[in-house]
Structure 1
Amino acid sequence: MKYNKITLLIASACLYSQLANGEQTQESYVEHIQILGTHDKLRTQGGATSLIGEEALAQFEFDDINKVLANVPGVNIREEDGYGLRPNIGFRGTTPERSKKISLMEDGILISPAPYSAPSAYYFPMVSRMTAVEIFKGPAAIKYGPNTVAGALNLVTRAVPKYAETGIDLAYGSDNYNKAHLHHGNSSGKFGYLIEGLHTQADGFKNIDFSKQDTGFEKNDIMTKLKYDLSQDNQAHYLELKLAYADETSNETYLGLTDQDFADSPYRRYAATSEDRMNWDHQTYQLTHFIELAEFNVLTRLYRHDFARDWRKISSLGQNAPALLEVLTAPDDPENQEYYARLNGSESGDIILGTNDRNYRSQGLQTDLGWQFELSGLQHNVDLGLRLHKDYINRDHFEQTYQMSSQGQLGQASEKTFTTVNREEATAVSIYAQDAIQIEQLTLTAGVRGEYIDSRYQNRKNDNDWLEKESRIWLPSLSAFYRLSADYGVFAGVHKGYVPSSPQQNDQSVEAEQSINYEIGFRQNHKNLKTEFALFYNDYSNLKESCTFSQSSNCPLDTDFNGGNVNVAGLESQVASVLSINTSIDMPWSFTYSYIYSEFEQSFDSDYPQWGLVTKGDSMPYQPEHSLALSLGLRATDWQLSAQIKYTSEMQETAGAGAVLSGKLIPSTTMVDLSANYLLTNEQSIYLKIDNVTDETQIVSRRPNGARPGKPRTLILGYKFNY
C-alpha cells in the first residue's frame, strides 16, 4: 500500500472539511452520476436495462462483480481466480475475455486502462465501494461507446451526502479474509466532502507444492470527493473534484492443473508458480461541472486515469520446450513427462518467468447535454454528447530464466531479456445525438453515434517499425417504447454495433467488428411485480477477436482475427416481486433466465486458439446455452435472510475441432450463496454470508494454461455501523 499517496488524499479531504460551514446544501446529485433514475416507475427507454441499487448490493455483501451480475439476464461470464480480481464479462454472447467488448465505466466515464488502444480490462474497480451497478444493452448502449455491439456497464460511486454521514464495515472470514470499509462525508453551506477507504485481503484457497507461501491478495482503495455548490434559484449548479487511488498485490498465476491433478487436488498449485505475482496501482483525477438551466442541463467532466502494472508469471519451460497447455493436456506423453515433472518440482530444469510490465494512461474531456422542449405539440428529450479522448499503453515485457531444483525451489533469476517493447496510442473524437419523442403513448427514440479514431503503433525496439491508422464510422440506432397502460408496455429497437481493431493490426484484411442488432421486449411494473422479457438477434457482418495472454500464449499478443458472419440470438427474462407472509415478514424473490444460441455462418481454419478449425454451424466459445438465477429472501423489521442460486449450463472452450482443447467443456455448475443480516440498533448491524454453500468444486476455466477452480465454501462474519 502506497501510504504517502493515500495520506495526501485523506489530508486534502480533511482540510476541505474544515472549510465547510453554514447551511446545508439544497440538492444531492446522485441523479447526475447515476444514469438510470429511480424515479421512473416504468422505464420508457428502448433497450434492455438493469439497475442494481445500494440495497441489493448490500444484501449479499459481494466483493466479486461476477456474483453481483448473477441476477442480470444476458450476461455471460468466464471466471478465473475465484475472487473476481480480473473479471471476464460479456453481454449477449460477446466474448467475456477481460471484459474488452463492453464499454466499462465508472460514474459515466470510461474506466478501462486504455479503452481504445488496449481495451482488455486488467484493472476493474472494487465493487464493494459502489452504490449502484447499471447495465445497458441494445439501443440503450449507443451513447456509451466505443464498443456498442454488447453494451455498457456503469459503476456508480458514493455521492457527497447532504448531511453528515459515517459508515463502517468490518468483516473477517475463511482463509484469513478481512475487510475494512469506512466512509465519512458532510455538506455545509456551499462546501461538501466525502472520504472513503476500503481494504480487503485474503490468504487464498490454493496451496503451492513445497511452499507455505499464500496464494491470496491484498487490495486498497481510497477516494475523496470535494464539492462546491453554486446553485441559485433552485437550479442545480456545482463543481466537484474526485481523487482516487487503488493498489493490489495478488499472488496469482495463469498456470492451472492437468485434469487428473484437478480431480485429485483441485486447490493445488505447481511449484513452478511460487514466484507468480501481480502488482498494480491506479490513480483517478476527475473534475466535474454541472449546471441546470431552464430547459438545458450540461454535465462536463475532465478526467485522467493512470494505471501501472507488472505481472510476473511462468511463460514457458525453455526455448525448445512444448507449450504449457500442451504439457498439461497430455502430461503422460513421453515428450512431455520431463516438462511436467519440472512444473511440479520433482525434476530440475529451466523455468522461464515472463513479467508483463505495462503502464497506461486514459484522459479526456466529456460533455453531455440534456435538452427538453416541445415542438409542434410533441415533447422532445434530446441528449447530445461530445468526448475528446486520448489513451496509450507502453509495454516493457521481459523474461528471466530460473533453475527449478528437484525439491521444488526456484533459484536465482538470470538477466532480463526484453521480449515486447512497444507503444500503442489512440486519439478519439466521439459524438452522439439522441432524441426521444413522446407521441401520446409512444416514445420513439432515434440516435446516432460517431467515432473518429486516429491510432498509432510503435515498436520501440525499431524506429522504422510503426503504423498509423484512421477509423471513421457512424452508428445509428432506433428504438420505440409503447406504453400499453401505466404499468406495462412493449419495446423494440435496432442499432449498429462496432468494436474498433487494434492499433498494431497491419493486415488490412482484418476488419473492425460490426453488426446489426435487433431486440423486442416487454416491460412491466405493477404494484410489487416487476418483469422484463427481451428477444435479441445480433447479425455480425464480421466478428473480430484479438489475442491476449489471458486466453493463450500460442498467438501473437494483440493480433486481430476475422471470424466472418456470425449470428447470435437469445432470450432474456426477469421477474421480481415481494410476497407478504404476514404483517411483519415479507418474502422478496426474483427469477432470471437467459438463453443464447450462436453459429458461425461459414467454415474456416483460424490461428486464433479459441476458434481453430471452424465448421459452419459451430457455436462460439464460452457461451452457456442456459443460465438461470433464483433469489429468495425473508425480511422483517430487524433481520433478513437471503439465498441466491445460480445455474450455468456447460460451455465450450473452443468453437472448432482444430484447437488443443478440442472436445473440452466447462461443466455445468450450480452455485448457492446465503446471507443473513440482523439489526442490533438503528445504527448497528451484523451479517453472516456463506458463499458456495454446497462447497461445489468445479473447473471454471482451462484458459490459458490448464484447469483452474472456483472459490470453495467461504464463511464471512461482518459488522456495520451507519450514522
Structure 2
Amino acid sequence: MKALLLSICLIISSLSSFSQEYYAIEGVVTDQQGQPLQGIDVYVEGINKGTATNRNGCFKLMSLSPRAYRLKVSGIGYVAHEEVISLPEQSQLLTITLKESLYELPEIVISRETLTGGSQFLSDVPGAAHYLSAKQLDKFAYSDINRILRNIPGINIQEEEGFGLRPNIGMRGSGVERSSKITLMEDGILAAPAPYTAPAAYYFPTVGRMQGVEVRKGSSQIKYGPYTTGGAINFLSTAIPQQLFAKVNIMGGNYGRRVAHAAIGQSFEHGGFVFETYQNSATGFKELDNGGPTGFVAQDYLAKVRINTSADARVYQALTFKIAQATGDADETYLGLTESDFAVNPFRRYAASQVDNIKTNHKQYMLKYNIIPSDHIDVSISAYRNEFSRNWYKLERIRFDASPFRPVSDVLEDPNTFANEFSILTGATSPSPNALLVRNNNRVYLSQGVQSLAGFNFTSGEMEHDIELGLRYHFDEEDRYQADDNYAMNNGVLQLSSKGAPGSESNRITNAKAFAAYLQYNFQWGKLHALPGLRYEKIDLQREDFGKTDPLRTGAALVKSANATDVWIPGIGFEYALGTFAKAFAGVHRGFAPPGIAESAEPEKSINYELGARINRAGLNLQSVLFFNDYQNLLGSDLAAAGGGGTGDQFNAGEAIIYGAEFELNYLAAFPNKNGFTFPLVLAYTFTNGEFGSSFAATNEDWGSVSSGDQLPYLSNHQLTANAGVDHRLFNVNISTKYVGAMRATPGTGNIAANDLIDANFVIDVSGSYKISKAVSAFVSVTNLTDQVYIVARRPAGVRPAMPRTFLLGIKANL
C-alpha cells in the first residue's frame, strides 16, 4: 500500500513540476496500517510554509532553497512527527507513519492497558470491540456521552436531562439504570463512585475532555470486571504529548450554552506533563413556573506528570501521577409532567421543583508504575483513589392536608384522583405548612485500590503466545446521611416550614472489600487466534445502619447486615482469518454482576454467546455480530432514578433471555478528480429483544408485578445510526442521524398502552468546520436540527422531554 501511494504521489508531483526547476519536500503520510491520512498538517518550521495532505496522504512543499529544514507533521489524534530534511543532499520523497496518540507509553503497554489498543489492534480482538478516536470525537465536539455512544451498536441508552450529565447506559439489554450494569473506567481504572457497593453512576467522566472511547463486549471483556454481562467502557483521557502541544476551544450557543476547553503539555527525554481544563455550562431549556434557573455549571481540571528513563534504556521504567477534580452544580429535578401538560408545553417545569438542585464534587488520584525489563515481559502497578460527594436536594412527596405523603409519581400518573395534590405541584397555595417533602440526598463515596498487570509474550515456531495476569484489591464505600425538609406552597413560591435534622432520614454506611484476579492466554497460530481467560471475584459487603434517631452515630440503634460472594468467571473467544481481509469470531463466557448488600439478593449470572465476522480493507471496515444472553438470575435495582424507592438495594428477578444482532459499517470513499475530497460513511444498527423468564413482584415501583414472557422495559427492538460527511483539507461537513424504535416504560406484552409508550424518534445533528489557518478552525454544530419533540422517559415521576434544537459555534485552536 505504501509503495502504491508513493507512486501516486510521484506521478502527481511529476505532472505538476514539469519543466520547472526548484527544490521541494514531498511524500506520503499514512497510519500504522499503511492507510493514507488526509488533512494532516505538514509545515516547515521558521519560514511560514505549510500544506495539508490530500485524500491519498500526499503532500508537497515547493520553492525551497538548498539548506536544512525542520519538517513538522501533526494531526488530531496522532503523535506529532518531526525530522530535519537537508536539500538537495537528502532524498525529498518521504514516507511518514503517524502513530495514534492513544497513550503516552510504549506500544506494548498501550495494547495491554487499553481495551482495544486503538484502531491499530482493533481487528485482532476475538470479539465485538469498538474504538472512537480523537478525530471522530472532534467532528461534533459532543459533551453528551449519549450522542457519542449512539455510533456504537449494541449500546442501549435512556436519555434524561438532555445534556448527558447523568447518563443511563446499558449493553445488549443489560439494563440502563444509572449505567449500573456495565464496567465503567477511565484510563483502565474503575470510575463509578462505588463500583461494588453502589454502582449507580451519579458521577460520569467528563467526556468532552477525552481523546478516545473504547468499548468491549462478549467473551473478550471478562478481563474488565466486575460487570461482565453487557460489556465495558473505557475513557482515554488526554495523553501526555511527545512534544509541545497546546489547544484552546471556545464555543457558545443558545440556552446560555458555554464551553471552554484548554490543554497544554510537553515531553522531555526523562518525563512529560499535561494540564487540562474543561468548562461546560448552560442556563437550561426548561421553563420553571414563575421563572427560575434550570441550567448547570460543570468544571473539570486534570493534570498528569510522568518521569521515565530514556526510551532506548535497557530497562524502560515510567512513573505517572494523575490528579483530577470535577465539580457540578445543576438545577435539575426528577419531577416530570403529565401527558396533557407535555402536549401543551413539553419544556415546562412545575413550581414545586423550584428548589431542586444537585451539587457534586469528584476527585481522583492515580499513581502508576510501568517497567519493561525485556522484550518479553512488561509489568504495571497502579494505586488509585476516587472521592465523590453529591447532594441532590429534590422533591420526593406531597400531601394536601394532614393526610399521608404521596410519591409525586403517583400524583402525576393520576392527576384527576389526586387533583388537590396536583394543584399544589403547579403552584396553588397549600392548606398545610408541611405539604411538600424535599429530601436532602446527601451521600459521600470512596473508591480506592491497587491493581497490577503483568504480561509475558514469546514465540515458538509459527505460534505466538501472550500470557497476562491481573490482580486487584479494591475497597469502596457509600455513606448516606440524609434529611427531609418540609415546605409550604404560597402562591407559586415554596417556603421552608421545617428543616430536618441531618441523618434523620437515612443514616448508614455500606462498604465492600473485593479481590479480583484474572488469567488470560492470547494464542495465535497462522489463521487461528484464541483467547481463553478466567476471572475470579471475591466480594464482602457490610452495612452499618445507625437508624433515623441516632444522628451522632453512637451505635445505640445500630443494625448490621452483610453479604458475600465469590465466583469464577470463565470465557473463551476465537477468531479465524477467512482471507486477507475477512475474519470470523465466536465466543462464550459467564456474565456476572455483584449482588449488593441485601442478604436475599444473589449474584447476577448468565451464559452469553456471540458469533460474528468482520472485514477490514482499504477504506472499509465492516462488523456483524449475533448475540444471545441466557440469564439464570437477572438483578433489578431499587433506584429513585428508575422510579423506585431509592434504597439502592438489588433484588432477584429470576430468569431472562436477551438476544439480538449488531451491524457496523465504516467506509471512507475517495474518488478520482474530486480535488482532494473524501466522503466518510458510518452505519450502526442494533436489534435487541429481551423478555423475563420468571414471574415475580418487583420491589421497585418501576417494574411492579412481572409475568414470565413480559418484555423488558426501556429496551428498543431497533436502533439505527447513519452518519455521512464531506472532508477536505480546508473544511468538513458532517450529518448524523439517529433512529430509536418505540419501547415500553414498564414490563408487559402485546401492544404498548398509550400511558406506557415511549414513542419512536428520529433525530438529525449536523456540524461543520473551516480551517482559518494552520492552527485555527471555526466550528459550528446543530443538534436536533428539525426540532423534534418527543418523550425520552416516563420515570422517575412523569414524562420527560428530549433536548430541543440547539446550536454551538466557536473557535478551535491547536498550537
**TM bracket, shorter-chain basis:** over 0.9
What corresponds to 1:16 in structure 2?
Answer: none
TM superposition shift of 1:171: 0.3
Which residue among 361, 365, 376 is the counterpart of 1:295?
Answer: 376
Cα gap change, 1:150/1:392 in structure 2, threshold over 3 Å: closer, same or farther?
same
Is 1:48 aligned to residue 142 of structure 2? no
Match of 1:13 in 2: none
- Structure 1: segments with no counterpart, 5+ residues: 1-25
Contact 1:612 1:656 in 2 (8 A): no
Cα drift, residue 695 of structure 1: 0.5
Deviations 1:480-527 (A, max 9, x none): 000112311000000000001112x022xx311000000000011111
> What amino acid maps onto 1:325 in structure 2?
S
Q: What is the TM-score normalised by the length of structure 1? A: 0.93
> Where does 1:384-403 land on structure 2 (aligned, <5 Å)?
384-403=469-488
Counterpart of 1:626? 718
Tell me what 1:20 maps to. none
| Cα deviation code 1:687-710 (max 9, x no counterpart) | 000010011111111110001111
Letter in 2 for 1:476: P
- SS of equivalent residue, structure 2 residue 495: coil
CA distance in 1, matches of 2:296, 2:529: 48
CA distances 1:530-574 after superposition (whole Å, capped 9, x unpaired): 000000000000111110111124x46123222111110000000
1:315 counterpart = 2:315 = no
Aligned mates of 2:501, 2:104 — CA distance in 1: 53
Which residue is equivalent to 1:249? 329
Identify if the C-alpha distance between structure 1 residues 42 and 308 changes in structure 2 by more than 3 Å, giving closer, same or farther.
Answer: closer
Deviation at 1:62, TM superposition (A): 0.4
Q: How far has the Cα of 1:40 moved from its partner?
A: 3.1
Structure 1 Cα separation of the partners of residues 528 and 235 of structure 2: 30
Any conservation in 2 of the 1:399–1:419 contact (CA below 8 Å)? yes
- Structure 2 residue runs of 5 or longer lacking an equivalent are 1-100, 548-554
Q: Distance in 1 between matches of 2:408 and 2:755?
A: 19
Q: How far, CA to CA, are the matches of 1:556 and 1:309 in structure 2? A: 15
CA distances 1:332-353 after superposition (whole Å, capped 9, x unpaired): 22xx011000001023241110
2:652 matched residue in structure 1: 562
Asked if 2 retains the 8 angstrom alpha-carbon contact of 1:143 and 1:432, the reply is yes
Instruction: Report the Cα distance in structure 2 between the residues aligned to 1:685 and 1:662, rounded to whole angstroms.
Output: 47
Q: State how far apart, in whole Å, the 2-side matches of 1:448 and 1:422 are.
A: 35
Q: Does 1:512 align with 2:603?
A: yes
The C-alpha deviation readout for 1:56-80, integer Å capped at 9, x for no partner, is 0000110100000011000000000
1:62-73 alignment, distance < 5 Å: 62-73=142-153
In the TM superposition, what whole-angstrom CA distance separates every residue of 1:309-368 from its partner, at most 9, and x where no partner exists? 1000000014613321111111122xx011000001023241110011000110001111
Change (3 A) 1:280 1:447: same
After superposition, the C-alpha distances for 1:225-244 in whole angstroms (9 at most, x for unaligned) are: 11101245355421111011
Please report how far the alpha carbon of residue 618 of structure 1 lies from its aligned counterpart in structure 2 after TM superposition. 1.3
- d(CA) in 1 for partners of 2:462, 2:635: 45
Q: Which amino acid aligns with 2:190?
A: L
After superposition, the Cα gap between the structure-2 partners of 1:584 and 1:343, relative to the gap in structure 1 and judged at 3 Å, is same
Deviation for aligned residue 1:100: 0.3
State how far apart, in whole Å, the 2-side matches of 1:542 and 1:492 are: 24
How big is the shift at 1:612?
Answer: 2.3
* Partners of 1:322 and 1:116 in 2: CA distance: 32
Q: Distance in 2 between matches of 1:590 and 1:329?
A: 40
Distance 2:531 2:656 in 1: 27
CA contact (8 A) 1:30 1:159 kept: no
Cα distance between partner residues in 1 of 2:409 and 2:380: 49
Taking the TM superposition and a 5 Å limit, the aligned residue runs for 1:12-411 are 28-29=104-105, 32=110, 34-38=114-118, 40=120, 43-211=123-291, 213-231=292-310, 233=312, 236-292=316-372, 293-318=374-399, 320-333=404-417, 336-348=418-430, 349=432, 350-375=435-460, 378-411=463-496
Partner deviation per Cα, 1:271-306 (whole Å, 9 max, x = no partner)? 010000000101111101111222011121110000
CA contact (8 A) 1:542 1:564 kept: yes
Q: What is the RMSD of the two structures over their aligned residues, measured on CA atoms? A: 2.0
* 1:641 counterpart = 2:733: yes
The structure-2 alpha-carbon separation of the partners of 1:265 and 1:410, relative to structure 1 and needing over 3 Å to count, comes to farther
Aligned to 2:512: 426
The question of whether the paired residues in 2 share the 8 Å contact of 1:656 and 1:662 is answered with no
TM-score for the superposition, normalised by structure 2 = 0.82
Q: Secondary structure at the match of 1:410?
A: strand
How far did residue 41 of structure 1 move?
5.8
Taking only the aligned residue pairs, the percentage that are identical comes to 34
Number of aligned residue pairs: give it: 691
Q: Distance in 1 between matches of 2:681 and 2:500?
A: 59
Query: C-alpha distance in 2, partners of 1:136/1:257?
Result: 37
8 Å contact from structure 1 (residues 627, 649) kept in 2: yes
Which residue pairs with 1:448 in the alignment? 534
Task: Measure, in 2, the Cα distance between the counterparts of 1:363 and 1:89.
Answer: 23
Using the alignment, how far apart are the partners of 2:465 and 2:230 within structure 1?
A: 27
Contact 2:457/2:467, CA 8 A, preserved across alignment: yes
Quick one: distance in 2 between partners of 1:377 and 1:595? 40
**Counterpart selection for 2:680 from 562, 569, 588:** 588
The 3 A distance-change label for structure 1 pair 410 and 210 is: farther
2:774 maps to 1:682:
yes
Greater shift, 415-424 or 599-608, is seen at 599-608
What residue in structure 1 maps to residue 559 of structure 2? 465
Task: Tell me, in whole angstroms, the C-alpha distance in 1 between the residues paired with 2:260 and 2:680.
Answer: 29
- Secondary structure of the residue aligned to 2:272 is strand
The answer as to whether partners of 2:391 and 2:440 remain within 8 angstroms in 1 is: yes
For 2:423, the aligned partner's letter is A
- State how far apart, in whole Å, the 2-side matches of 1:597 and 1:663 are: 21
Tell me the distance in 1 between the aligned counterparts of 2:764 and 2:516: 43
> What are the superposed Cα offsets for residues 76-134 of structure 1, whole Å, 9 maximum, x if unpaired?
00000000010000000111000000000000000000000100000001101000000
- Name the amino acid aligned to 1:170: I
Structure 1 residues 85 and 436: CA distance shift in structure 2, 3 A: same
| Deviation, structure 1 residue 662 | 8.8
For the pair 1:497 / 2:586, whether they are aligned, the reply is no
The farther-off stretch of 90-99 and 606-615 is 606-615
Q: Distance in 2 between matches of 1:232 and 1:130?
A: 26
Find the residue that maps to 1:688 and give its secondary structure.
strand
Q: What residue is the counterpart of 2:666 in the other structure?
A: 576
Distance apart, 1:30 and its partner CA? 7.6
Hey, what's the Cα distance between the residues in 2 that align with 1:339 and 1:408?
15
> Contact 1:529–1:576 at 8 Å: present in 2 too?
yes
Q: Would the aligned equivalents of 1:491 and 1:522 in 2 still touch at CA under 8 Å? A: yes
Distance 1:265 1:391 in 2: 43
Q: Is the 8 A contact 1:176 1:202 kept in 2?
A: yes
| Separation of aligned partners in 1, 2:811 and 2:394 | 37
Q: Which amino acid aligns with 2:634?
A: L
CA distance in 1, matches of 2:539, 2:287: 46
1:170, 1:205 → 2: CA distance?
21
Q: Which amino acid aligns with 2:511?
A: E
Alignment-derived partner of residue 57 in structure 2: none
Alignment match, 1:3: none
Aligned counterparts of 1:137 and 1:185: Cα–Cα separation in 2: 33
Question: What is the CA-CA distance between 1:661 and the residue it aligns to?
Answer: 8.9
Matching of residue 535 in structure 1 with residue 626 in structure 2: yes
Deviations 1:660-706 (A, max 9, x none): 99950111011110001100011000100001001111111111000
Q: Which amino acid aligns with 1:49?
A: A
Matching residue's letter, 1:221? D
Conserved 8 A contact 2:534-2:568: yes
Inter-partner Cα distance in structure 1 for 2:479 and 2:748: 34
SS of the aligned residue for 2:150 comes to: helix
The residue type paired with residue 513 of structure 1 is E
